Amino acid sequence: MSDSPPQRPDTPCVAVCSTTFDDVCRGCGRTVNEVAHWVFMTEEEKTKVWERITAEGYPRRQG
């Protein structure tokens, strides 16, 4: 069993941004605060966000 982190993109962003009018982005599922602070978050914080948004069915990729 491996303890390495799961392989995923650097960000959940799918270029379907809606945080201007919504509290939660319809594309990636992150809150406005999470989007704004993503580059400053620790890997642990990002992992918690990834776990929450994937459980909620995000990111929603087009296609």
Token pair in block for residue 58:
């995000």
Q: Strand, helix or coil at 22?
A: coil
Q: Which residues touch 13 (CB under 8 Å, ≥6 apart)?
A: 27, 28, 35, 59
- Band the pLDDT of 34: cuts 50, 70, 90: very high
61: Cα separation from own chain's centroid? 12
- Band the pLDDT of 62: cuts 50, 70, 90: low
Opening angle at CA 38, ends 31 and 51, nearest 5 = 65
pLDDT at residue number 2: 56
Strand partners, 24: 31
Q: Which tens digit of pLDDT belongs to each residue from 23-33?
A: 899 899 999 99
pTM of the model: 0.81
- In this structure, of 1-5, 8-12, 37-41, the range with the lowest mean pLDDT score is 1-5
